[in-house]
Amino acid sequence: MNLKFRVSPMSAPTGPDAGIRDLLARWTDAPAMFADASPEDVSSPRARFAVQMADAGGPPPRPPEVRDAGGVPVRLHRPASATSDALVVFLHGGGWVLGGGDVYDAAAAGLADDVGAVVAAVDYPLAPEHPFPAPLEGAQAAIRALLADPPAGTDPARCALVGDSAGANLAAVAALALRDEGRPPAAMLLVYPPPDFEGRYPSVTENAEGYWLTASDVKACSKLYLAGHDPRGDVRLSPLRAPSLAGLPPTIVATAGFDPLRDAGHAFADALAAAGVDARRREHPALVHGFYGFRAAVPAADTAVRALHAELAGLLGR
C-alpha cells in the first residue's frame, strides 16, 4: 500500500483547559523530557517522567499483585467493587522508553475501579535496552499468556485491550495479530495512539511545543524504539497501514486537541470506520497528550477518562 495521510487540523479552543495550564505551569522549570538522554542512558528522562506522572496521577489506591505472563511481568489490579468478569489488558504509554514499573499503577487502578473488572497492566520491556520489536513481542507474549491462563474471576472471551500513547500502538498491533489468529479482543480503548510511522500530520507542527509532549520528544522516542530499523512498510509499527483493518472489535479512539499525535489518531479512527469497524472517535479539544494519567490534578481529565471508561464498560456488557 502507498498511503499518504495529511489531515487538516480540527478547530480548537484558544488554549488548553485551565487545569492543564496550571499543571504545566508547575513543570515549567523542568528540563525537556529528553534533554539529558542518550541511546545508552535514559535514566534521567525515566525519573522525570515518573515524578510528573505521580504528581498528576496521585498515588494508587492499593498495590497490585505482580505475576509473570509469558515471561513478562504483569501488574494485576483488582477493582474495589467487581461488577464484570471481563479481562482488561492495559499497555502503558511513555514512547516505548518510559513508564515501566509502578509508574502507571494509579492509572491502571483507576481503570479497574471505573470498569469494575480486573486489569492486567503489562510491564513490557523498554527501549533502548530492548528496542523494536522487543516491546511489541513482550506485550504480545503477555497477552497470549493471559488469555491462556486468565486471572481468577475473569473470562478471556471478554478481553479488552486498552493503551495510551505508545501502549495504544502496541494494543492496535496486538489486536490485528489476535484477529488473524481468529480470536480478536471484545473491545479496545486507544488513547491518543501513534498508529503511523510514515505519515506527515499537521498537528505535529501545530502542537510542537508547549503542551507537555513535544515534537522533539516524539522524534526521540521513535529513534530510541526503532534503533535504526526502517519503519517503511512494517505494519508492526504502523497499524494504520495494515492491508485491512476489518474484523477489529468496537474501538474507542480518544484524542486531545493540543497534542502532536492528534491528527494521526483521527486518521486511524477514520480508517477503522472505513473498514467497517465500530469506531468511536472521542475528541477532547481542550486537553493535551498525557491526560489519561492526569486525573488527580486536572478535573477535566478525570471527567474525560471516566467517560471513556464508562463507554468501554458498556462495550463489554457490564
90-146: per-residue pLDDT in tens?
999 999 999 999 999 999 999 999 999 999 999 999 999 999 999 999 999 999 999
Lowest pLDDT segment from 7-11, 23-27, 193-197, 297-301 = 7-11
CA distance linking residue 86 with residue 146, whole number of Å: 12
Q: What is the structure's pLDDT at 60?
A: 97
Residue 6 lies in a domain: no
Radius of gyration of the chain, Cα coordinates, nearest whole angstrom: 18
- Cell numbers linked to 76: 494485576
* DSSP conformational letter for 292: G
Could you tell me if residue 31 is inside a domain? yes
Q: Tell whether the model's pLDDT for residue 264 goes beyond 50.
A: yes
Mean pLDDT of 223-242: 97
What pLDDT, on a 0 to 100 scale, did the predictor assign at position 310?
A: 98
Structure confidence at residue 5 (pLDDT): 42
Catalytic residue list: 165, 259, 289
Which residue segment(s) compose the domain that 206 sits in? 18-315
Q: Where are the beta strands (DSSP E) in 197-258?
A: 251-258
pLDDT band at 241 (very low <50, low <70, confident <90, very high): very high
The string of DSSP letters for 247-266 reads TPPPEEEEEEEE-TTHHHHH
β partners of residue 284 = 256
- Residues 271-281 have a mean pLDDT of 98
Q: Is residue 67 part of a domain?
A: yes
| pTM, two decimal places | 0.95
pLDDT digits (tens, 9 = 90+) for 179-231: 999 999 999 999 999 999 999 999 999 999 999 999 999 999 999 999 999 99
CB within 8 Å of 258: residues ≥ 6 apart: 12, 16, 20, 207, 211, 286, 287, 288, 289
- Position 14 scores a pLDDT of 83
Given this model, what pLDDT does residue 144 score?
98
| 11 within domain boundaries | no
Question: Does residue 1 carry a pLDDT above 90?
Answer: no
pLDDT of amino acid 12: 54
Q: Residue 7 pLDDT > 70, yes or no? A: no
Count of structural domains within the chain: 1
Q: Residue 12 falls within a domain, yes or no?
A: no
pLDDT bucket at 8, cuts 50 / 70 / 90: very low
Higher pLDDT, 318 or 46: 46
Task: For residues 58-81, give the mean pLDDT.
Answer: 97
6 pLDDT higher than 70: no
Q: Tell me, what's the pLDDT at 318?
A: 53
CATH number at residue 206: 3.40.50.1820
- Is residue 284, in this structure, part of any structural domain at all? yes
Arithmetic mean of pLDDT over the chain: 95
